[in-house]
Chain A
Protein backbone atom coordinates (compact mmCIF):
# COMPACT_ATOMS: atom_id res chain seq x y z
CA UNK A 1 0.00 0.00 0.00
CA UNK A 2 1.23 3.48 -0.78
CA UNK A 3 -0.18 6.84 0.21
CA UNK A 4 -0.39 10.44 -0.97
CA UNK A 5 -2.01 13.49 0.53
CA UNK A 6 -5.38 14.46 -0.93
CA UNK A 7 -6.33 17.75 -2.54
CA UNK A 8 -9.02 18.76 -0.04
CA UNK A 9 -6.63 20.44 2.41
CA UNK A 10 -3.82 22.95 2.38
CA UNK A 11 -0.94 23.20 4.81
CA UNK A 12 -0.12 26.49 6.46
CA UNK A 13 2.42 27.52 9.09
CA UNK A 14 0.81 30.33 11.05
CA UNK A 15 3.00 31.97 13.67
CA UNK A 16 4.88 28.72 14.16
CA UNK A 17 1.80 26.52 14.31
CA UNK A 18 1.40 23.81 11.69
CA UNK A 19 -2.18 23.80 10.41
CA UNK A 20 -4.02 21.65 7.95
CA UNK A 21 -6.90 23.64 6.52
CA UNK A 22 -9.89 22.24 4.70
CA UNK A 23 -10.52 23.75 1.29
CA UNK A 24 -14.12 22.61 1.28
CA UNK A 25 -16.53 25.11 2.74
CA UNK A 26 -18.84 22.42 4.04
CA UNK A 27 -16.27 20.98 6.44
CA UNK A 28 -17.49 21.05 10.03
CA UNK A 29 -13.96 21.44 11.39
CA UNK A 30 -11.96 23.52 8.92
CA UNK A 31 -8.63 23.53 10.79
CA UNK A 32 -6.46 20.83 12.27
CA UNK A 33 -3.20 21.33 14.15
CA UNK A 34 -0.27 19.13 13.16
CA UNK A 35 2.75 18.26 15.24
CA UNK A 36 6.12 19.15 13.69
CA UNK A 37 6.60 15.51 12.72
CA UNK A 38 3.10 15.44 11.23
CA UNK A 39 3.93 18.54 9.19
CA UNK A 40 7.09 16.83 7.95
CA UNK A 41 5.15 13.74 6.91
CA UNK A 42 2.47 15.87 5.21
CA UNK A 43 5.11 17.58 3.08
CA UNK A 44 6.61 14.21 2.18
CA UNK A 45 3.18 12.92 1.15
CA UNK A 46 3.09 15.33 -1.80
CA UNK A 47 4.18 12.25 -3.74
CA UNK A 48 3.22 8.62 -3.29
CA UNK A 49 5.06 7.04 -0.38
CA UNK A 50 5.00 3.68 1.34
CA UNK A 51 4.38 3.52 5.07
CA UNK A 52 7.83 2.05 5.64
CA UNK A 53 9.42 5.03 3.88
CA UNK A 54 7.56 7.38 6.21
CA UNK A 55 8.76 5.42 9.25
CA UNK A 56 12.33 5.67 7.94
CA UNK A 57 11.87 9.41 7.54
CA UNK A 58 10.74 9.78 11.16
CA UNK A 59 13.66 7.66 12.37
CA UNK A 60 16.11 9.79 10.40
CA UNK A 61 14.78 13.02 11.92
CA UNK A 62 13.79 12.03 15.45
CA UNK A 63 15.50 10.02 18.17
CA UNK A 64 12.68 7.54 18.80
CA UNK A 65 12.53 3.71 18.88
CA UNK A 66 11.44 2.03 15.66
CA UNK A 67 8.25 0.57 17.14
CA UNK A 68 7.21 4.02 18.39
CA UNK A 69 7.91 5.60 14.99
CA UNK A 70 5.94 2.87 13.28
CA UNK A 71 2.96 3.32 15.60
CA UNK A 72 3.04 7.11 15.22
CA UNK A 73 3.09 6.93 11.42
CA UNK A 74 0.21 4.45 11.40
CA UNK A 75 -1.81 6.69 13.71
CA UNK A 76 -1.04 9.76 11.61
CA UNK A 77 -2.13 8.06 8.41
CA UNK A 78 -5.34 6.93 10.09
CA UNK A 79 -6.04 10.51 11.24
CA UNK A 80 -5.53 11.80 7.70
CA UNK A 81 -7.84 9.08 6.42
CA UNK A 82 -10.55 10.17 8.85
CA UNK A 83 -10.17 13.75 7.60
CA UNK A 84 -10.48 12.54 4.00
CA UNK A 85 -7.02 14.02 3.54
CA UNK A 86 -5.29 10.85 2.32
CA UNK A 87 -5.32 8.84 -0.88
CA UNK A 88 -4.16 5.23 -0.69
CA UNK A 89 -3.69 2.56 -3.33
CA UNK A 90 -2.26 -0.90 -3.67
CA UNK A 91 1.16 -0.96 -5.24
CA UNK A 92 1.31 -2.23 -8.79
Chain B
Protein backbone atom coordinates (compact mmCIF):
# COMPACT_ATOMS: atom_id res chain seq x y z
CA UNK B 1 0.00 0.00 0.00
CA UNK B 2 1.28 3.44 -0.77
CA UNK B 3 0.77 6.54 1.30
CA UNK B 4 -2.06 8.80 0.33
CA UNK B 5 -4.64 6.36 -0.93
CA UNK B 6 -7.19 7.57 1.57
CA UNK B 7 -8.29 4.00 2.10
CA UNK B 8 -9.63 3.22 5.58
CA UNK B 9 -7.90 -0.16 5.64
CA UNK B 10 -4.81 -0.69 7.74
CA UNK B 11 -1.45 -1.39 6.20
CA UNK B 12 2.28 -0.74 6.16
CA UNK B 13 3.52 2.51 4.70
CA UNK B 14 6.97 3.61 3.66
CA UNK B 15 6.60 7.17 4.88
CA UNK B 16 10.04 8.21 3.76
CA UNK B 17 13.53 6.78 3.69
CA UNK B 18 14.05 7.00 7.45
CA UNK B 19 10.56 6.63 8.85
CA UNK B 20 8.00 3.90 8.49
CA UNK B 21 4.70 3.24 10.10
CA UNK B 22 1.17 2.13 9.45
CA UNK B 23 -2.16 3.55 8.38
CA UNK B 24 -4.39 2.66 11.31
CA UNK B 25 -7.83 3.71 10.14
CA UNK B 26 -9.97 6.55 11.41
CA UNK B 27 -9.49 6.12 15.16
CA UNK B 28 -6.53 5.22 17.33
CA UNK B 29 -5.92 5.44 21.08
CA UNK B 30 -2.45 5.80 22.53
CA UNK B 31 -1.48 5.39 26.15
CA UNK B 32 1.74 7.24 26.94
CA UNK B 33 2.61 6.96 30.64
CA UNK B 34 -0.63 7.64 32.52
CA UNK B 35 -2.23 9.61 29.68
CA UNK B 36 -4.66 8.01 27.26
CA UNK B 37 -5.21 10.05 24.11
CA UNK B 38 -7.71 9.17 21.41
CA UNK B 39 -7.16 10.50 17.90
CA UNK B 40 -10.08 10.55 15.50
CA UNK B 41 -10.07 11.45 11.82
CA UNK B 42 -12.47 14.19 10.93
CA UNK B 43 -13.49 14.47 7.29
CA UNK B 44 -14.18 12.08 4.48
CA UNK B 45 -11.25 10.02 3.31
CA UNK B 46 -8.88 11.01 6.10
CA UNK B 47 -6.85 8.18 7.65
CA UNK B 48 -4.55 8.25 10.65
CA UNK B 49 -0.88 7.36 10.30
CA UNK B 50 1.23 6.02 13.19
CA UNK B 51 5.00 5.84 13.07
CA UNK B 52 6.56 2.55 14.16
CA UNK B 53 7.86 4.12 17.36
CA UNK B 54 4.28 4.79 18.50
CA UNK B 55 2.65 1.50 17.56
CA UNK B 56 3.60 -0.24 20.87
CA UNK B 57 1.69 2.52 22.67
CA UNK B 58 -1.59 1.69 20.96
CA UNK B 59 -4.35 0.51 23.32
CA UNK B 60 -7.94 -0.59 22.66
CA UNK B 61 -10.24 2.22 21.60
CA UNK B 62 -12.65 1.50 24.46
CA UNK B 63 -9.93 2.54 26.96
CA UNK B 64 -11.07 5.34 29.25
CA UNK B 65 -9.42 8.42 27.81
CA UNK B 66 -7.93 11.61 29.25
CA UNK B 67 -7.77 13.58 26.03
CA UNK B 68 -9.68 13.47 22.76
CA UNK B 69 -8.15 14.79 19.53
CA UNK B 70 -10.14 15.41 16.37
CA UNK B 71 -7.85 15.62 13.31
CA UNK B 72 -8.81 17.51 10.16
CA UNK B 73 -6.81 18.03 7.00
CA UNK B 74 -7.44 21.51 5.64
CA UNK B 75 -5.78 24.86 5.17
CA UNK B 76 -4.26 26.38 8.32
CA UNK B 77 -4.51 30.06 9.23
CA UNK B 78 -4.01 31.68 12.64
CA UNK B 79 -6.96 33.37 14.34
CA UNK B 80 -7.20 37.13 14.79
CA UNK B 81 -6.25 36.97 18.46
CA UNK B 82 -3.32 38.15 20.56
CA UNK B 83 -0.15 36.03 20.56
CA UNK B 84 0.72 35.18 24.18
CA UNK B 85 3.86 33.14 23.44
CA UNK B 86 6.10 32.95 20.42
CA UNK B 87 8.99 30.49 20.25
CA UNK B 88 11.39 31.50 17.53
CA UNK B 89 9.70 31.69 14.14
CA UNK B 90 8.34 28.17 14.30
CA UNK B 91 5.37 28.31 16.62
CA UNK B 92 3.14 30.69 18.45
CA UNK B 93 0.27 30.47 20.91
CA UNK B 94 -2.81 32.65 20.81
CA UNK B 95 -5.25 33.05 23.67
CA UNK B 96 -8.86 32.61 22.61
CA UNK B 97 -12.07 33.08 24.57
CA UNK B 98 -12.94 30.76 27.44
CA UNK B 99 -9.32 29.92 28.24
CA UNK B 100 -8.88 28.14 24.91
CA UNK B 101 -5.50 28.18 23.16
CA UNK B 102 -4.54 28.05 19.54
CA UNK B 103 -1.04 26.77 18.79
CA UNK B 104 0.16 27.28 15.24
CA UNK B 105 3.31 25.64 13.87
CA UNK B 106 5.18 27.00 10.85
CA UNK B 107 7.38 25.06 8.46
CA UNK B 108 8.89 25.42 4.99
CA UNK B 109 6.75 23.71 2.35
CA UNK B 110 8.55 21.74 -0.35
CA UNK B 111 11.53 23.60 -1.74
CA UNK B 112 10.12 26.93 -0.63
CA UNK B 113 12.06 27.94 2.49
CA UNK B 114 9.49 30.52 3.56
CA UNK B 115 7.70 29.47 6.75
CA UNK B 116 3.99 28.81 6.37
CA UNK B 117 1.40 27.59 8.89
CA UNK B 118 1.30 23.82 8.49
CA UNK B 119 -0.27 22.61 11.72
CA UNK B 120 -2.59 24.00 14.33
CA UNK B 121 -3.89 22.71 17.65
CA UNK B 122 -6.97 24.27 19.20
CA UNK B 123 -7.33 23.18 22.81
CA UNK B 124 -9.54 23.77 25.78
CA UNK B 125 -7.88 25.13 28.93
CA UNK B 126 -7.27 21.65 30.39
CA UNK B 127 -6.00 20.01 27.18
CA UNK B 128 -8.86 17.55 27.37
CA UNK B 129 -10.51 18.24 24.02
CA UNK B 130 -8.38 19.21 21.03
CA UNK B 131 -8.94 19.94 17.38
CA UNK B 132 -5.99 19.64 15.05
CA UNK B 133 -5.76 21.11 11.58
CA UNK B 134 -3.03 19.72 9.36
CA UNK B 135 -2.31 21.42 6.05
CA UNK B 136 -2.60 19.04 3.07
CA UNK B 137 0.73 17.58 1.95
CA UNK B 138 1.86 16.75 -1.53
CA UNK B 139 1.96 12.98 -2.00
CA UNK B 140 -0.16 12.13 1.04
CA UNK B 141 -3.06 14.58 1.06
CA UNK B 142 -5.35 12.38 3.17
CA UNK B 143 -2.97 11.01 5.81
CA UNK B 144 -3.15 12.52 9.29
CA UNK B 145 0.28 12.23 10.90
CA UNK B 146 -0.86 11.94 14.50
CA UNK B 147 2.50 10.68 15.78
CA UNK B 148 4.70 13.10 13.90
CA UNK B 149 7.17 14.85 16.16
CA UNK B 150 6.50 17.03 18.08
CA UNK B 151 2.68 17.08 18.07
CA UNK B 152 2.01 14.02 20.24
CA UNK B 153 4.86 14.91 22.58
CA UNK B 154 3.55 18.45 22.88
CA UNK B 155 0.08 17.19 23.81
CA UNK B 156 1.55 14.85 26.44
CA UNK B 157 3.80 17.65 27.78
CA UNK B 158 0.83 19.92 28.32
CA UNK B 159 -1.33 17.16 29.79
CA UNK B 160 1.39 16.27 32.30
CA UNK B 161 2.18 19.87 33.18
CA UNK B 162 -1.49 20.58 33.88
CA UNK B 163 -2.42 17.33 35.56
CA UNK B 164 0.79 16.02 37.19
CA UNK B 165 3.89 14.32 35.82
CA UNK B 166 7.00 15.40 34.01
CA UNK B 167 9.00 14.45 30.92
CA UNK B 168 12.72 14.37 31.63
CA UNK B 169 15.53 14.46 29.10
CA UNK B 170 16.68 11.08 30.38
CA UNK B 171 17.18 7.49 29.36
CA UNK B 172 15.58 4.75 31.41
CA UNK B 173 16.97 1.30 32.14
CA UNK B 174 14.90 -1.31 33.95
CA UNK B 175 17.19 -3.73 35.69
CA UNK B 176 16.02 -6.33 38.17
CA UNK B 177 12.62 -4.65 38.31
CA UNK B 178 13.94 -1.19 39.17
CA UNK B 179 14.09 1.85 36.91
CA UNK B 180 17.39 3.69 36.62
CA UNK B 181 16.70 7.18 35.27
CA UNK B 182 19.82 8.41 33.45
CA UNK B 183 19.50 12.13 33.06
CA UNK B 184 21.54 14.45 30.85
CA UNK B 185 21.46 16.92 28.02
CA UNK B 186 22.32 15.82 24.49
CA UNK B 187 25.81 14.27 24.39
CA UNK B 188 25.86 13.41 28.09
CA UNK B 189 25.94 9.68 27.36
CA UNK B 190 22.30 8.61 27.86
CA UNK B 191 22.17 6.34 24.82
CA UNK B 192 25.68 5.02 25.49
CA UNK B 193 24.89 4.05 29.06
CA UNK B 194 21.53 2.63 28.01
CA UNK B 195 23.27 0.40 25.49
CA UNK B 196 25.73 -0.76 28.16
CA UNK B 197 22.86 -1.45 30.56
CA UNK B 198 21.17 -3.55 27.90
CA UNK B 199 24.37 -5.61 27.62
CA UNK B 200 23.97 -6.37 31.33
CA UNK B 201 20.40 -7.57 30.85
CA UNK B 202 18.43 -4.37 31.45
CA UNK B 203 15.56 -3.35 29.20
CA UNK B 204 15.48 0.19 27.79
CA UNK B 205 11.97 1.65 27.50
CA UNK B 206 13.48 4.90 26.20
CA UNK B 207 16.96 6.26 25.65
CA UNK B 208 15.98 9.93 25.53
CA UNK B 209 12.64 10.88 27.13
CA UNK B 210 11.49 9.43 30.45
CA UNK B 211 8.19 10.34 32.06
CA UNK B 212 7.93 10.39 35.85
CA UNK B 213 4.61 10.23 37.68
CA UNK B 214 3.69 10.07 41.33
CA UNK B 215 1.30 7.57 42.82
CA UNK B 216 0.54 6.23 46.26
CA UNK B 217 3.22 3.57 46.11
CA UNK B 218 5.98 5.87 44.96
CA UNK B 219 7.52 7.31 41.81
CA UNK B 220 7.02 5.52 38.50
CA UNK B 221 9.17 5.92 35.40
CA UNK B 222 7.63 5.30 31.98
CA UNK B 223 9.07 4.68 28.56
CA UNK B 224 8.00 6.95 25.72
CA UNK B 225 7.88 6.82 21.91
CA UNK B 226 10.61 9.45 21.64
CA UNK B 227 14.07 7.93 21.36
CA UNK B 228 17.69 8.94 21.04
CA UNK B 229 20.49 7.46 18.97
CA UNK B 230 20.01 3.98 20.52
CA UNK B 231 16.42 4.04 19.19
CA UNK B 232 14.67 2.26 22.04
CA UNK B 233 10.99 2.89 22.76
CA UNK B 234 8.46 0.97 24.85
CA UNK B 235 5.45 1.77 27.06
CA UNK B 236 6.99 -0.23 29.93
CA UNK B 237 7.10 1.29 33.38
CA UNK B 238 8.85 0.51 36.67
CA UNK B 239 9.29 1.99 40.14
CA UNK B 240 12.21 4.41 40.20
CA UNK B 241 15.18 3.14 42.16
CA UNK B 242 17.57 5.95 41.37
CA UNK B 243 18.04 9.08 39.30
CA UNK B 244 21.55 9.78 38.01
CA UNK B 245 22.87 12.97 36.44
CA UNK B 246 25.36 11.85 33.81
CA UNK B 247 28.72 13.60 33.64
CA UNK B 248 31.66 12.50 31.53
CA UNK B 249 34.53 11.48 33.82
CA UNK B 250 37.98 9.97 33.92
CA UNK B 251 36.80 7.18 36.20
CA UNK B 252 33.53 5.87 37.63
CA UNK B 253 32.32 7.77 40.66
CA UNK B 254 28.94 8.54 42.19
CA UNK B 255 28.12 11.35 44.54
CA UNK B 256 24.75 11.86 46.25
CA UNK B 257 22.88 15.01 45.22
CA UNK B 258 20.97 16.98 47.80
CA UNK B 259 17.28 17.40 46.96
CA UNK B 260 17.84 21.13 46.44
CA UNK B 261 20.36 20.50 43.66
CA UNK B 262 18.41 17.54 42.31
CA UNK B 263 15.34 19.76 41.81
CA UNK B 264 17.36 22.27 39.83
CA UNK B 265 19.16 19.65 37.75
CA UNK B 266 15.87 17.96 36.94
CA UNK B 267 14.03 21.18 36.16
CA UNK B 268 16.55 22.30 33.57
CA UNK B 269 16.23 18.86 31.96
CA UNK B 270 12.45 18.83 31.76
CA UNK B 271 10.97 18.63 28.31
CA UNK B 272 8.05 20.87 29.08
CA UNK B 273 6.52 23.75 27.20
CA UNK B 274 6.58 26.35 29.97
CA UNK B 275 3.44 28.24 29.16
CA UNK B 276 1.76 29.32 32.37
CA UNK B 277 2.61 29.86 36.02
CA UNK B 278 0.22 27.04 36.90
CA UNK B 279 2.11 24.58 34.71
CA UNK B 280 5.52 25.66 35.99
CA UNK B 281 4.39 25.41 39.61
CA UNK B 282 2.79 22.00 39.02
CA UNK B 283 5.94 20.74 37.32
CA UNK B 284 8.03 21.95 40.26
CA UNK B 285 5.58 20.29 42.67
CA UNK B 286 6.20 17.01 40.89
CA UNK B 287 9.96 17.41 40.79
CA UNK B 288 10.16 18.37 44.45
CA UNK B 289 8.28 15.22 45.46
CA UNK B 290 10.48 13.10 43.20
CA UNK B 291 13.67 14.62 44.62
CA UNK B 292 12.48 14.04 48.18
CA UNK B 293 11.54 10.40 47.62
CA UNK B 294 14.11 9.08 45.16
CA UNK B 295 17.87 8.89 45.72
CA UNK B 296 19.59 11.19 43.27
CA UNK B 297 23.26 11.00 42.32
CA UNK B 298 25.79 12.61 40.07
CA UNK B 299 27.50 9.87 38.09
CA UNK B 300 30.91 10.56 36.60
CA UNK B 301 31.64 7.68 34.33
CA UNK B 302 33.63 6.03 31.61
CA UNK B 303 31.62 4.25 28.92
CA UNK B 304 31.84 0.72 30.30
CA UNK B 305 29.39 -1.56 32.07
CA UNK B 306 31.19 -0.79 35.35
CA UNK B 307 29.25 2.48 35.55
CA UNK B 308 25.91 0.64 35.59
CA UNK B 309 27.24 -1.81 38.17
CA UNK B 310 28.19 1.16 40.33
CA UNK B 311 24.64 2.48 40.09
CA UNK B 312 23.30 -0.94 41.00
CA UNK B 313 25.43 -0.98 44.13
CA UNK B 314 23.91 2.38 45.08
CA UNK B 315 20.38 1.04 44.59
CA UNK B 316 21.21 -1.98 46.71
CA UNK B 317 22.57 0.18 49.49
CA UNK B 318 19.44 2.35 49.39
CA UNK B 319 17.12 -0.64 49.21
CA UNK B 320 18.87 -3.48 51.08
CA UNK B 321 15.89 -5.75 50.47
CA UNK B 322 16.88 -5.92 46.82
CA UNK B 323 19.42 -8.70 47.00
CA UNK B 324 21.25 -10.52 44.29
CA UNK B 325 18.94 -11.67 41.52
Contact = CB atoms under 8 A, between A and B. Distances in A.
Contacts of A10: 277, 280-281
B267 A15 contact: no
Given A14-B263, A31-B264, A23 B284 contact: no
Interface in B252-272: 258-260, 263-264, 267-268, 272
A7 B260 CA distance: 24
B9 interface: no
A31 B274 contact: no
Interface residues of B, number: 20
A10 B280 CA distance: 8
A26 B88 contact: yes
A22 B274 contact: yes
Contacts of B288: 14
A52 B268 CA distance: 36
Given A25-B273, A30-B268, A12 B281 contact: yes
Interface in A12-35: 12, 14-17, 19, 21-26, 30-31
B85 interface: yes
B81 interface: no
Contacts of A14: 260, 263-264, 284, 288
B1 interface: no
Nearest to B268: A30
Contacts of B274: 22-25, 30
29 contacts: A7-B277, A10-B277, A10-B280, A12-B281, A12-B284, A14-B260, A14-B263, A15-B258, A15-B259, A15-B260, A15-B263, A17-B260, A21-B267, A21-B280, A22-B274, A23-B274, A23-B276, A23-B277, A23-B280, A24-B85, A24-B274, A25-B272, A26-B87, A26-B88, A30-B267, A30-B268, A30-B274, A31-B264, A31-B267
